[in-house]
Structure 1
Amino acid sequence: MATDYDAPRKTEEEMSEDSLEELKSRRNDKNSGKVDEDEVEAAESFELPGADLSHEELTVRVLPRQANEFTCASCFLVKSTSQLAETRGNDKYCVDCV
C-alpha cells in the first residue's frame, strides 16, 4: 500500500473522533446487529453418512482395580503406583497434581 508522506498527519484526538463517528454510523445501520442464522440452520440440516448411531449399543468392560494402580484424589484419574507423589490420610495424589 502506498503512503503519502506529504499528507497532513492526524492527531490522536482526530483519530478517536473518526472512530467514534464510525461507531455512530454503524449503530444507525439497521443490518449491523443482525446475526446471520442461515448458516446455523443449514448446518443443522446436514446429515453425515454414518452419523446416526441410535441403533448402536455401547458395551464397556470394567476391570477391577489392579494392585499397581491408585485413583488420584485430585484429578480422579487411575494412575500407576509409579506416579504416586504423596499420601495424605487415605487420599493418594499423583505427581501431576502435587
Structure 2
Amino acid sequence: MATDYDAPRKTDEELSEDSIEELKARRMDKNSGKVDVDEAEVAETFELPGADLSNEELSVRVLPRQADEFTCSSCFLVHHRSQLAFEKNGGPICRDCAA
C-alpha cells in the first residue's frame, strides 16, 4: 500500500475519536479506487531476457574512426580528441579513465 508521507498525521487522541462508521467509509473509499488490470495483457508487452532473437536483423551503420577521434588504451572506447587526458606507455587515455 502506498503511503503519503507528506500528508498531515493524526495524533493518538484524534485517532481514538474516529468512529467505526468513519473508518468503514474510509476502507470502502480506498477499495473503490482500485483498477482491475488484466495481467496477461501486461505480461505480453515485456521482453524477457534471453529471448530468441535469431530471426531479428539489425541494421546499424558502422563508421570507421575519424581523424579527430582516438581509441582509449584503457577502456577501448572511441572518443573525440577533446576527451584526451594524456598518453601512457604510448597509448592515449581518455578523461574518464584518467579520473
TM normalised by structure 1 equals 0.44
